[in-house]
Structure 1
Amino acid sequence: MARRLALVMAGMAMASANLRGGGGGGGGCRLRGGLQAEEPKGALPLPSKLNRRESSGLWASPWGTKGQGTEDDRSLRGTWTSMRKRMAYLEYRFSNIVVSSNTVKAAFIFSISLVLVVVGGLILRCVGNVGSWRNALFKAYALLNNAPGIDAVSEESTGYLVAANVLFVSGIFTFAVILGLVTSSIEMSVQNILEGNYRIVEAGHTLLLNWNSRTTPLLRQLAEAVKDGYSALPIVILAQMDGKEMRQRIQESLRDVYLPISVRAGNPCSLNELQDVCAGEASHVLLQYPEGEEDEEKVLSTQVACVRTLQEKHQPMKSMGYKLHDLHGVMVSSSRLELAPELGFVPVLRNGFTQQVIRACMTLQGITDVYEDILHAGEGSQMYVLSSSTWSWLEGRTFGEARRLFPSAVLLGWIEDGSKRIQLIPDGEETVPGSSLLILLSSDHSIRCNKQVVVGKDEMEGKGRTNEQEEQDTQRKERVVKKLERCFSCMKKKFALRVLILNMGEEEMLLQSMEESLAPGSSLVVHFSSSDKSEGQEKAIREMGQRRNISTELLYGGFLTMEKLREVRAAECDVVISLPSASSSAADTNDAQLVALAKMIVSCRRRSAREGVVLPLMHVIACVEQPTSVELVEEALKQQGISLEWLMPNELEAGALVQILRSPYLSYVYDDILRASTAQLTLLSPHAILPHDEEVEFAFLSDCFLERSAIALGVRWSDGKVELSPDRRKLFKFGKKDKIVVLQQVKGS
């Protein structure tokens, strides 16, 4: 023991002599007091704060300033300065370790622990009788980690007691450092996740690119679609938006609805970012229009090209298409991009569905409820495109026979396999093509098809019918068919209307449909939300008015005043359409402006009535952003002679997009129906074809309508509720304001 202590003391004396003598050769840097210190490799310049604080405060030297005291004092000051710089360098290196990767942190912790165990074992062997190195190292390890059964205060000698407690305190300090590093790593990981900056590893998922006001409605519609069998999960969102904000909006929107969603904040036009969300492995991709982006075409074209390139790399055996097992892609934009369909994406015009529905309900009140029931995913009835090979017994059947095989679904037509040619309401004697895609309307995705025809209620119960009863049924059917022919002829007539459109933006499709809907002699007043005149739109409206003999008037500017409404005779309008203002970023602001406009229109009508003006019945079509605002709008328009029909564009568009993403063929089906190319939805009063208070079977109605190239889809009740694709054997008893929902073939198509 004495020999070991002597060796230690000799080493300390030699080190002290070297420090005072400044000996040792070059390669170092000369410090004050003659101290030679070697510069560590890779060291960075020390912070300038050390130089400024060198003579004051915490870093002040206890030996005074430079140039004062004896030679020994200056030597001590140099030693103190060197120690401070060394400490600052160690602090800098420790800071680098704290912000480094978890692997570096783990290596640092392991290295420090190993050094402490070895040094502790050496000290214990020097001051105590611990036997072998194995026992000394284990004793040091146990004291450093406060292992159970280890006592640091019951040692025999004073030196051993001091050494044991020093190791124990060092262990506490080491544990504190480890705990701090682990805690900081966890905090950084959680922060990284919350900010949406983590890599996503998925396959066969749904990818949503870009964020806009329609994203949360899309997620709600996807949640409903999941209940109906949609399985391309989870939903992955990549957008240039803060991850925390995206999560907060999603949580507020979905609330108690469960939907697996992963978000990542990043640029959807970056290949690296797209790879981080596994865009190449996605089975369904929806490109939303980027809100506030000036060059929309450039952004969407870049995203389409990058996504398809990644999919071709990671899924070379699959192609972007329309069939069930193909990759599906939908792109929403303000204009149709040529690149999207070339790469297999289905192009959808922004607000296209809303504009077409507004066009339809302008001349047919109540049809909005039907479209909302069909287009909303997971609610009511929806359209499905299914392969006819699912039911092999349909081969060789006529359309009239095939439609009777579906007890709770309505067969609308088919799409020939390998083409996009849609045939809605085919002739009853036309045979179902082999390997075709059937278009069905059903309230459930699990559609049942019987092998035998679903007959009437009496036949199902086993009650036979006499020849006289069959003859009565035939005569009854003939009477209904004749009345249907007269009703359809009357529905073709158009009447001149005075229409006021508020907050018009870039709804070109709505203006185009106006030309087909308005009869000659009508009057059209268009208020543009922007004060900047659009020469293209103004010219198009003027030319439309000249072609169709329609008087047009254009207004520009922001919010309309009472004076302006009286000037354009808003009180005398037959139809008032209020579109969502493009300048209002907040939904509640748009709804508040809608309530104000409603109040002003009511005031204008009251004033005109007092002046003796004969006012027509006014039909108001309002686009509402939030469902809570509907009641307020209804209250504001509460006046005799005004009927309100409202729709929610975001929910309507989102529901249609989800259905098209699920079955891309539906984009052509909806486009055909909404544009009234070959077929159109209409409402028919049952009392025009049936006696009052008569119960009628839905199967009987279906047979009668098919005789006049139409299909009965269901019923719109007087309270606005819609019942589509009912059971064929269900009996209906209609009230005064109830309507039959019909898909009617457009003549000349």
Structure 2
Amino acid sequence: MAQEHTTSLRLRLRYRFDHLVAGGTTALIGWLGLACLAVVVPASTVLVWSDRSAPATLAGRLTAVWVSVGQTLKIGGAVGSPVYVLASVTLALVALLFVSTLVSLITTGINRRIMSLRLGHSTVLEAGHTVVLGWSDQIFPVAGELVAANANQRRSAIAVLAPKDKVEMEEEIATRLPDRGRTRIICRNGSTTDPAELARVSPRTAKAVLVLPPGGRTGDAHVVKTLLALNAAVPEAGRGAVVVAAVRDSRHHATARLAAGPDGHVLCVDDIIARLLVQTARRPGLSLVYQELLDFAGDEFYTAPADGLAGRTFGEALLSFATSSVVGLVRADGGVALNPLPGTTIGTGDRLIVLSRDDDTAVPADVSALVDEDAIVTAPPAAALAERVLLLGWNRRAPFVVDQLDQYVSPGSCLDVVALDDGDARGGTAAARRNLDVVFHGGDITDPRVLAKLDVPSYDSVIVVGEVDPGAAGAAAAGGAAEPAYSEEALADDRTLVTLLHLRAIAEAARRELVLTTEMSDDGNRLLAPAREGADFIVSGRLISLLMTQISESRYLADVFEELFDAEGSEFHLKPASDYVRADREVPFATLVEAARRRGECAVGYRLRAGAGTGPGHGLRINPDKRERVRLTGEDWLIVLAES
């Protein structure tokens, strides 16, 4: 015998209603009409019978009830012959049908338009804007730097296209970037590899297009496909925008450059990070210099017209600006020369590369008369010494670090590598080396016993790179849908944080400061790092975002950064200030610029040792006014652009 349901009356009524709605439009209209009549007719009857002025006869009252029902239901309620009443009701129903249909069509159209706008499928009608293709954590530093770069513009716009919900993108940007100044950030939903959908952000009329590298193993392939789609959507002949992209793996760099075309700029994350790790490891504090120069919050690279300097030498130009630091030339043919010889002649049509607060602050002002000749000293070149470097961890970029280090160090230098699998490390650096002797050790860099055996304080510098434990990575991948996604970069950062904890304990026990350079993927993890304030961190995601933004604003900067990060070109150095001027003597900064010029270098700032551990500046001063007087001790550093 079947059992009866023991549900409440509310649930049974709801079930009946759901069944009624499922019956279709005709049934719903019929039942809705009956429901209206069941309410309106009795209510109208009560109103008529309770009205003292109602007709006395039954026929009159029934007529009054009919008029009330007709007016309530908007069907007229006309009184007269049956034919007249029927025609009146028919016209009222037809009018009601047409009006309701018209309202429904208008409402549906408006809702469809609103939904289309919310989906982000409309076309951006902007010109001179910046297009960002793709979505990752890099979108926030990129957008933030573009906002800072456009702070002095009356109106600017950023158009973001990504396969992500438009509303979600806007909410995330509003949360992470609450202050956007005068810059409008417009989000559109669509595939970056579909030429038709690329048109939604109007790349043809943009001034710059940035292609962000997404995470995952297929991220570089996605960048290449996006560049190909951009070529299909906007042929290079009709493109006026600067195209800047980035790939993570150096093996895909050549492919991406072919897809970007001769006028596109493709950054290789592996190569750039490896170069900066080596440069910073050998010159502590250099990461702070690059951080200052690459964001738009302080001083950065600009070009300035060489008005009045044509025919004069580059050395003379160094003291021709009081509030800007001259560091190179952009030739009339577009070639870039960083730190050329002081006797290099400035040609007609050349432009100066300067470090300045903004693009309109490079104002000529001769300060050569401020040079204090008596304060300048001539120190002999420092003898090249062999170095001992410790590399903790191993990843895809580590072989590039070894190769770059071999180009920088003096003969007889030694590199000790500690990695989970020293066999993989050996296989990644099989090429012959000129100056560097590499010794591999198998071990877990998060194990304090392994670190204790290394005598870490005895090394000239220590480099920590992100290393993933294969066992932990496999466990995270097999965790199932219930567990949060955990990328290899996040796992590597976690191991780096643990290693830094042990290194800090070792430094405290030895009572000496380690020369430590650390690679991080996430800038948020850098804030958690157990390291001294102002320590050297190379945060790959943020650094590449800053570089892409700088190049998007000035395309010639691609050549500038290429030379800065190349072992063969000029790069920034922190050198003892006492090698240039007498210690503890107050001099105008113009004197330091002249002292550096005589060595074939460009002085761009200084760092005070007394303030190295105190934020936010950490003793760093970039592009000081050359009229400003400064007293540097034998422990302070001068920041110069030089070849060695």
The bucket for the TM-score relative to the shorter chain is 0.7 to 0.9
CA contact (8 A) 1:381 1:724 kept: yes
Assess if the C-alpha contact under 8 Å between 1:145 and 1:171 holds in 2: no
* 8 Å contact from structure 1 (residues 715, 741) kept in 2: yes
Distance 1:673 1:58 in 2: 73
* 1:709 Cα deviation after fit: 0.6
| Separation in structure 1 between the aligned mates of residue 171 and residue 443 of structure 2, nearest angstrom | 37
Specify which of 320, 325, 328 is matched with residue 413 of structure 1: 328
Aligned to 2:173: 250
Secondary structure in structure 1 of the residue aligned to 2:315: helix
Moved more, 172-181 or 650-659: 172-181
**Corresponding residue of 1:576:** 462
Range that drifts further, 186-195 or 654-663: 186-195
Q: Distance in 2 between matches of 1:522 and 1:369?
A: 26
Amino acid in structure 2 at the alignment position of 1:252: T
Q: Are residues 1:423 and 2:346 paired?
A: no
Q: Which residue does the alignment assign to 1:677? A: 568
Please give the per-residue CA displacement for 1:631-655, whole angstroms capped at 9, x wherever unaligned: 5424xx47xxx99323433222211
**Could you tell me which of 644, 649, 660 is aligned with 2:535?**
644
Structure 1, residues 447-503: CA drift from partner, whole Å, max 9, x if none? Answer: 3443x733446xxxxxxxxxxxx9xx54x15xx2423xx2xx11x523321312335
Matched AA of 1:499: L
Query: What is the distance in 2 between the residues matched to 1:161 and 1:370?
Result: 90
Equivalent position amino acid for 1:595 in 2: L
Query: 1:224 matched to which residue of 2?
Result: 148
2:278 to 359, 366, 378: 359
Give me the whole-angstrom Cα distance separating, in 1, the residues matched to 2:197 and 2:418. Answer: 42
Between the aligned residues of both structures, percent identity stands at: 20
> For residues 428 and 25 of structure 2, what CA distance do their matches in structure 1 show?
79
Cα distance in 2, alignment partners of residues 169 and 144 from structure 1: 13
Flag structure 2 segments of 5+ consecutive residues without an equivalent.
1-15, 31-70, 474-485, 612-617
SS at match of 1:515: helix
- Which residue number in structure 2 is paired with residue 289 of structure 1? 213
The worse-fitting range, judged by mean Cα deviation, of 192-201 and 548-557 is: 548-557
User: Are the aligned partners of 2:356 and 2:362 in contact in 1 as well (CA < 8 Å)?
Assistant: no
Q: 1:601 to 1:695 in 2, by over 3 A?
A: closer
Within 2, Cα distance between the matches of 1:271 and 1:505?
Answer: 33
User: Separation in 2 of the partners of 1:269 and 1:248?
Assistant: 24
Change (3 A) 1:58 1:560: closer
Change (3 A) 1:737 1:183: farther
Query: Shift of the alpha carbon at 1:626?
Result: 5.7
User: Which one-letter code corresponds to 2:199 in the other structure?
Assistant: Q
CA distance in 1, matches of 2:112, 2:300: 46
Amino acid at match of 2:314: F
Residue in structure 2 matched with residue 307 of structure 1 by the alignment = 230
Distance 1:341 1:625, change over 3 A: closer
Q: Deviations over 1:174-232 (max 9, x none)?
A: 6666555544544443333333333333333322222233222111111111125597x
Corresponding residue of 1:236: 159
Residues 650-661 of structure 1 correspond to what in structure 2 (within 5 A)?
650-661=541-552
The verdict on how the C-alpha distance between 1:633 and 1:549 changes in structure 2, with shifts beyond 3 A counting, is: closer
Structure 2 counterpart of 1:294, which letter?
A: T
Aligned mates of 2:228, 2:389 — CA distance in 1: 46
Query: Which moved further from structure 2: 344-353 or 286-295?
Result: 286-295
Secondary structure of the 2:319 match is helix
With over 3 angstroms needed to count, the CA separation of the structure-2 counterparts of 1:170 and 1:369, relative to structure 1, is: same
1:701–1:604 distance in 2 versus 1, CA, 3 Å: closer
Partner amino acid for 2:284?
Q
1:493 paired residue number? 384
Q: Determine if contact 1:144/1:172 at 8 Å carries over to the other structure.
A: no
CA contact (8 A) 2:507 2:514 kept: no
Q: Give 2:429's aligned amino acid.
A: I
Please point out which of 616, 620, 636 is paired with 1:738: 636
Q: Secondary structure at the match of 1:280?
A: helix
Distance 1:622 1:230 in 2: 40
Match for 1:723 among 609, 621, 624?
621
Structure 1: how far apart are the matches of 2:24 and 2:523?
67
Partner Cα distance (1:174, 1:568) in 2: 87
Inter-partner Cα distance in structure 2 for 1:714 and 1:448: 16
Aligned-partner residue type, residue 599 of structure 1? L
Is the 2:132–2:159 contact (alpha carbons within 8 Å) kept by the matching residues of 1?
A: yes
The 8 Å contact of residues 144 and 170 in structure 1, kept in 2 or not, is answered as no
Partner of 2:396: 505
Displacement, 1:88? Answer: 8.3
CA distance in 1, matches of 2:442, 2:167: 42
With over 3 angstroms needed to count, the CA separation of the structure-2 counterparts of 1:354 and 1:249, relative to structure 1, is farther
Q: Does 2:620 correspond to 1:620?
A: no
| Matching of residue 539 in structure 1 with residue 427 in structure 2 | yes
In structure 2, relative to structure 1, the CA distance for the partners of 1:676 and 1:227 (3 Å cut) is farther
Residues 602-624 of structure 1: per-residue CA shift (max 9 Å, x gap): 45667xx6xxxx79752222345
Work out the CA distance in 2 between the residues paired with 1:230 and 1:654: 24
The alpha carbon displacement at 1:542 in A equals 4.1
Correspondences of 1:270-281 after superposition (within 5 Å) = 270-281=194-205
The residue matched to 1:289 in structure 2 has which SS?
coil
Which of residues 359, 374, 378 in structure 2 aligns to 1:482?
Answer: 378
Tell me which residue corresponds to 2:301. Answer: 383
> Residue 427 of structure 1: SS of its match in structure 2?
coil
Write out aligned runs for 1:557-576 (5 A): 560-566=446-452, 573-576=459-462
Q: TM-score, normalised by structure 1?
A: 0.65
Q: 1:171 to 1:339 in 2, by over 3 A?
A: same
- Cα distance in 2 for partners of 1:144, 1:166 equals 16
**What is the alpha-carbon distance in structure 1 between the residues aligned to residue 281 and residue 358 of structure 2?**
30
Shift in Å at residue 245 of structure 1? 3.5
- Contact 1:525-1:554 within 8 A present in 2 as well: yes
Paired letter, 1:548: N
Q: Deviations over 1:397-437 (max 9, x none)?
A: 222333332221122221322253x3333333332012123
Matched residues in 1 for 2:522 and 2:128: separation?
A: 33
The secondary structure found in structure 1 opposite 2:603 is strand
Deviation (angstroms), 1:697? 0.7
582-591 vs 511-520, greater mean Cα deviation: 582-591
- What are the within-5 Å matches in structure 2 for residues 391-470 of structure 1? 391=307, 393-420=308-335, 422-450=336-364, 453-456=366-369
Displacement of 1:446: 0.5
The alpha carbon displacement at 1:368 in A equals: 1.4
* Aligned equivalent of 1:195: 119
Deviations 1:309-344 (A, max 9, x none): 44348x74xx6xxxxxx5311221233225146431
Instruction: Using the TM superposition, give the Cα deviation of residue 374 of structure 1 relative to its aligned residue in structure 2, in angstroms.
Output: 0.8
Structure 1 unaligned residues grouped into runs of 5+: 1-56, 61-83, 92-142, 320-325, 458-469
Aligned 1:59-98 pairs, distance under 5 A: 87=26
| Correspondences of 1:43-62 after superposition (within 5 Å) | none
Indicate the larger mover: 177-186 or 248-257.
177-186
